[in-house]
Amino acid sequence: MGKIYTLGLATFAATGSFLFGYDSGVMTDVIASHHFLNFFNTTKTSTIIGAINSTFSGGAAIGALMAGLTIDRFGRRMTIQMGALLATVGAILQCAAQNLVMILVGRIIAGWAVGVLSMSVPVYQAECAHPKTRGLIVGLSQQMIGVGFIVSTWIGYGSLHAPDTNSLQWRFPLAFQALPAFMLFVGMFWLPESPRHLIEKDQEDEAFRILKRLHYDGSNMEWIQTEFTEIKTTINAERAITAPGWTIMFKVPQWRTRLLQGTLVQVFAQMTGINVINYYQNIMYEALGITGNRATLVTGIYNVVGPLTNLVFITFVLDRIGRRRPLLFGAAGITIALVCEAALNSQNEDGTKTSYSIGGVFFLFAVTVLFSMSFGSIAWVYMSEVMPMQIRGKGVAFATGVGNWTVSTLWSQVSPIALGKIGWKFYLIFAAWNVCVTIPTIFFWFRETKQKSLEEIDLLFGGRALGALNDNLDSKALELESAGTARQVENVTEAAAIGVNQIFSSDLARELRYGRVEEGFTEDPYLSGELSYAAVVGLQSRNILATVKHFTGYSEPEQGLNTGPIHGGDRELRTTWMPAFKRAIVDVGAWNIMSAYHSYDGIASVSDAYALTDILRGELDYKYWGNPIDSDAVTLVTLKALPAKTDVEMGGGSFNFKQLPSLVKDGRLDIKSVDQAVSRLLRAKFEMGLFENPFPAAPRDQGPSLIHTDEAIDLARTIDRELIVLLENHNNILPLKKTNKIAVIGPMAHEYMNYGDYVVQGSQDRGMTRLDGIRAAVGESAKITDAQGWERWRNDRSGFLQAIQAVKEADGAVVIVGTWSGDQEELWAGVNATTGEHVDVNSLNLVAAQADLVSAISDTGKPTVVAFSSGKPITEPWIANSTAALVQQFYPSEQGGNALADFLFGDNNPSGRLSVQLPSRRCTIGDYGHVDANGNIVFGHQYAIGTPQPWNPFGYGKSYSTSEYSSVSLDKANTTVKDTLTASVDVTNTSHVDGTQVVQLYIVDAIASVDVPNRKLKAFKKIRVKAET
């Protein structure tokens, strides 16, 4: 019952697509009517005929876009009815036309109607379809477009047999469409609304009843209940971050990606050249020497071949082999056919060679057959299924209005001219587009959506409802360490307000060439543990799952290359990598651990039974769930990782219902391993309260008031201020005077924010830039000039002159240089960057022309302050000696510009300390406490050239004030390993400026029986120290 009912529903709704096809073809025969031409005193080639055709296409583009305003508000069914009613009115106006104005208005309304129907029908069909038959159900749209075109052809052909003095020649074909349009309007009253739209409108009981009617086959009630829950869960999750209006689909990265793919598949369909052939095939036949009745016969056969091929394709092929392969096959085949068509035409320009003409017709037919086996249906299927629920209406409206109708209108205007001017060469334009654009884009970017529910498709694009819209962009992990206070991390989150219930915590930052250093907390195990503790407490107190990663030994890969092997041994594992995890697991109880995806001493971390089972589950008594990154070795990963106590896979497809049952059934996987993994996952969900409150976001109407608040912005600015590290300040040039004329130099100061990777795409353009912050700080009291000087990743020095001139005309300069990153979509696509995941470097020097720019500005003789804006240490010690001052600002929040200005002008006295050392040479690896103050390695030697001693060590940072430490003491002279010692120290401010000190306590094990660092951080405290009176 369910399948038959759904098929009937989709077929009747496709009457709207029938009207699309009919109205697209009817004007061909109307324009051929002598009575029509005489009645309106025009000719076939007049501008009036062109206006009649273009008003229809323009109306369709506008109608598709305007339907995006109604389809979410009034529903899918009512929008289809609106289109049907408009089509009825348009048909009546056209057939009753007494003048050109009536015809033009009727065509605009008819186009508007077709635009509405062309976007609303596929959405309605997709949301009602079963995942296994969605290709067939939505493919009926293309089928009925073809049927409508055929019917219009034959009705027009029959009407032309009326006498030339009879207006029925054109009035009847135009009037006929009113009948199916009105039937569609009335019939939709008896069809149900989309169940997904009903759930969106909180009509859940009705939605469940309709789902059952659509999909129940007598034995799948459990599946229907699961589908209902999945739809409801997804809609509620998306509600947490959605906002009214059209701009939402451009702001969320995954949604923007899906919008672009849905639009591109429509563009690619138009760029096959199919509509050029459909509309202007008579011109093409004439070029082949085929005219008169022969041309009419060939056209009739051509118009039937496409729909018949499409029917076979959607019935037997589309839902079996998927979307991507037919698209690639179709694009390649159409390209070959178009090239062959062009070749035959080039040899038969006078149309006298019969064999060439037959070949030409064959390849034109080949194009429509290949199109019907690929883009014809898939353009509508993929477009409607790839959009997430919250933007499906507006997204499909945009894709149809822009990708289909706008491009189609363009070609309808250009094609007759192009065919007349360049003839057969016109085909090569489409062939070249397919080769250069369509095929690479589909191959490298499009996802396979075959037989997946609309909600499962969400997971192909990186998860549901991920990516905050207006929440505060917080500082990168490496910078949080520089603040020198762990407890503030507990206060930095707006995630709860938008329903995010999982956030990742960070690694050590050890191998400084490694691209993900920017995500690390610090190089120091103790400090990392304190930050991990604070992060877990802060997150989980709000029932947000803290994922501590990556277990373990992750961030010191060989040669600094991402996922490279790590060689450490058990002692290194326990003394360097385990302390932070132990702090997060034992002391606070993190709900999730993410395993690493490198190898440690030759064993893959995802299946390391010693680390995951013996240590994590055994020694640390970890009872919650762990997950690895995805892997393609499906069976191998499952059989090794699941018994090793890796419970959940983050993507990939190894741990799923397609793999596990067969592995358990044939005895290769113990069911106990599966049960234990499920149990640990459920434990975390219960403790998070997800079963009592599965949708923890703030109410939809309250969400905007809880994110990006004044309090959050102030907190971000405060933390950013404390994160800045003063590396050098010759002659106390800082703080600057607000009355000085200052030149701000460098692209990192202008219209670009460095947030690092794993941020919402487009975020780099949002926030307070350094230039904005400086201008806001000085107001009208000083003149601020600016120049970029160079462009990121380029060695071009042509901008130096403008920058130098700006500095010469100023009292001094602030130069911003450093590294830059991008969101993950950009990094995977190969966008140039110098930090971030997949972006490893072999040198810590400034990239491209930056160092030369600093040197050129410094050579002007004007006081120059340099600020490193970076996600990792920069090794350029010479800058500290050749400029007036040097500042380190690791990637900040969106308040980074304001924070830097507060620092530069003395509104904040710097107190930040380096959370990682700055090496003295570009490829020097950190010593991590194994180096004496004189630069000697214990029991070793210095380098032959240079020193292993860092340029600036861990914990280093200057201030605008000076302090002295004295009277260091311990509360006990003798102690045992079980005792707690209290250390005391007097800190005196010896300057006239109030300041803040980060007091750091290091210990030395002078009689250790094994090799240990010469000093280890064991405690730190930030204190406020008043100036001398």
Summarised one tens digit per residue, pLDDT across range 468-488 is: 333 444 555 555 555 444 544
Q: Residue 440 in contact with residue 303, Cβ under 8 Å? A: no
Range ranked top by mean pLDDT from 233-237, 664-668, 732-736, 912-916: 732-736
Residue 942 has pLDDT above 70, yes or no: no
For the cut 80, the answer to whether the pLDDT of residue 823 exceeds it is no
Give dist(CA 128, CA 122) in Å, integer.
10
Tokens of 951: 């340029």
Helix or strand holding residue 228 (H, E):
helix 221-239
Between 389-398, 607-616, 669-678, 828-837, the lowest mean confidence (pLDDT) is in: 828-837
Spatial contact of 756 and 518, defined as CB atoms under 8 Å apart: yes
What is the per-residue pLDDT for 636?
A: 57
At residue 584, the pLDDT reads 87
Is the pLDDT at 466 greater than 60, yes or no?
no
Instruction: Determine what percent of the chain is predicted with pLDDT higher than 90.
Output: 38
- pLDDT for position 282: 64
Q: What angle do CA 74, 80, 85 make, to 5 degrees?
A: 105
The pLDDT of residue 129 is above 90: yes
pLDDT at 742 > cutoff 90 = yes
pLDDT at 633 over 80: no
Note the pLDDT of residue 422: 83
Report the pLDDT value the prediction gives residue 826, as an integer from 0 to 100. 63
**Dihedral of CA 74/80/84/89: which sign?**
positive
Q: What is the pLDDT of residue 203?
A: 93
Per the CB < 8 A criterion, the answer to whether 862 and 813 are in contact is yes
Q: Return the residue matching tokens 């062959």.
A: 340
Looking at residue 975, what is its pLDDT? 84
The residues pairing with 931 across neighbouring beta strands, listed in sequence order, are 937
Please compute the mean of the pLDDT values over residues 999-1014 and round it to a whole number.
84
Residue position matching structure tokens 């470097």: 841
Q: pLDDT band at residue 136, thresholds of 50, 70 and 90?
A: very high
* pLDDT reported for residue 935: 45
Average pLDDT over residues 488-495: 52
Burial 161-189 (b: 16+ CB within 10 A, else e): ebeeeeebbbbbbbebbbebbbebbebbe
Location of structure tokens 């509508």: 380
| 235-269 confidence digits (pLDDT tens) | 876 665 555 567 778 876 678 889 999 999 999 99
Report whether pLDDT(630) > 50: no
Distance CA 619, CA 626 (A): 16
Confidence grade of residue 959 (pLDDT, cut at 50, 70, 90): very high
Through-space distance between the first and last CA atoms of the chain, rounded to whole angstroms: 90
Residues whose CB is less than 8 angstroms from the CB of residue 267 and which lie 6 or more positions away in sequence, other chains included: 403, 407
Q: CB–CB of 863/811 below 8 Å? A: yes
Confidence of residue 274 (pLDDT cuts 50, 70, 90): confident
The percent of residues above 70 in pLDDT, for the chain, comes to 84
Tokens 């490829």 belong to: 923
Lowest mean pLDDT among 256-265, 581-590, 830-839: 830-839
- Give residue 87's pLDDT band: very low, low, confident or very high (50, 70, 90): very high
3-state secondary structure 692-718: CCCCCCCCCCCHHHHCCCHHHHHHHHH
Q: How much is the pLDDT for 893?
A: 85
Whether 746 and 815 have beta carbons less than 8 Å apart is answered as yes
What sign does the CA torsion over 201, 230, 263, 366 have?
negative
Q: What per-residue confidence (pLDDT) applies to 317?
A: 95
Mean pLDDT of all residues in 847-859: 94
Q: What is the pLDDT of residue 897?
A: 94
pLDDT of residue 702: 66
Q: Cis peptide before 449, with omega less than 30 degrees from 0?
A: no
Of residues 316 and 584, the one with the higher pLDDT is: 316
Q: What domains can you pick out in the chain, each with its CATH number?
A: 1-191+241-460 (1.20.1250.20), 474-688 (3.20.20.300), 725-917 (3.40.50.1700), 963-1025 (2.60.40.10)
Is a pLDDT exceeding 80 seen at residue 642?
Answer: no
At 763 the pLDDT is 65
Q: In what order do the strands lie in the sheet with 592-595?
A: 502-505, 545-551, 592-595, 625-627
DSSP 126: H
Cis peptide before 992 (omega within 30 of 0): no
Task: State pLDDT tens for residues 15-63.
Answer: 999 999 998 888 877 887 888 888 888 876 666 776 777 788 888 999 9
Q: Convert the pLDDT of each residue in 524-567 to its tens digit.
A: 888 888 888 888 887 887 788 888 888 888 888 888 888 888 88
Measured between alpha carbons, how far is 283 from 365 in angstroms, rounded to an integer?
Answer: 15
DSSP-based three-state secondary structure for 625: strand
Predicted pLDDT of residue 637: 60
Instruction: Give the pLDDT confidence score for residue 690 in this predicted structure.
Output: 80
Whether the CA torsion 307, 313, 318, 324 is positive or negative: it is negative
Residue 464 predicted with pLDDT over 60: no
Helix, strand, or coil here: 79? helix
pLDDT at 1022 over 50: yes
Contact between 820 and 831 (Cβ < 8 Å): no
pLDDT digits (tens, 9 = 90+) for 885-913: 999 999 888 899 999 999 999 999 999 99
Average pLDDT estimate for 747-757: 79
Mean pLDDT of the chain: 84
Paired sense of beta strands 592-595 and 625-627, if any: parallel
Give mean pLDDT, residues 302-323.
93
Given pLDDT bands bounded at 50, 70 and 90, which one contains residue 467?
A: very low
